[in-house]
Amino acid sequence: MRLEGKKALITGTAQGLGHEMALALAREGCDIAGFDIRAEQLAETTKKIESLGCKALSLEVDVMDYDAVQVAVQQVYDAWGNIDFLVCNAGKGQREPFTKVTKALWDYMIAVNLTSVFNLCQAVVPHMIEQRSGRIITISSIAATRGGRILGKTAYAAAKGGVIGFTKSLANELAPYKITVNNIAPGVHNTPRRANDSDEEQKLIMDNIPMRELGDPADLAQTVVFFCLPTSRYITGVVLPQDGGHSI
């Protein structure tokens, strides 16, 4: 186990990509603190982490709530003393065309996809600076650079574009403290979110992926593991597409 004794905080661990990230890191010996608003599913993730022999600390947290995040992060530090890895995964997609985007929807997309990353980093970064080490991994989308289309439209693409800009800027600021900040930009992955795709949407998706298959969340989780390993210590400010060639 290559990360035995390390501590990771991951958001959105109740299902989908975040769930797989938590299990992948746990299989490497990493203890996992998971934040999500879906308490029942979060409890199931906790059981799976503990079955792998790792500690699990699961908290029901709305990552859009700045104060709630500050309190929850402090709970993790009180329990474990440190956080080695922060994975800002929580987010939400958008299907509405621009003409149907309300001010409320716009604000929500920015809050859940971008402001949540700010909230987590505000709570964790000062501790990482003090310990002069840490890995931060953010999750954007190839929608940020290709335009939304099938991946989430204007508000979502704008928010994820903000995540990329935030990641690069934070990487620059934190590099002197030996803290790396990297981003993964997924394409379309086989998560519960895809269950609502129509036949037409499914065909459009496949027509745009050169590898002609959806991404496997377990593969993306291994990329998260890579960014946490000692071998990636000299990589920072990177945006890595994981999309089966979708962004070519």
Catalytic residues: 156
Coil, helix or strand for 84?
coil
Sequence-separated (6 or more) residues with CB below 8 Å from residue 29: 1, 2, 3, 4, 5, 6, 53, 54
Are the C-beta atoms of 182 and 227 separated by less than 8 Å? yes
Terminal-to-terminal C-alpha distance of the chain: 35
Alpha carbon separation from 101 to 92, 104, 147, 148 (Å, rounded)? 15, 8, 16, 13
Coil, helix or strand for 89?
coil
Question: Nearest 5 degrees, angle CA 62-CA 4-CA 43?
Answer: 35
Are the C-beta atoms of 10 and 20 separated by less than 8 Å? no
As a whole number of angstroms, the distance between CA 143 and CA 231 comes to 29
As a whole number of angstroms, the distance between CA 238 and CA 180 comes to 10
Name the β-bridge partners of 10: 34, 87
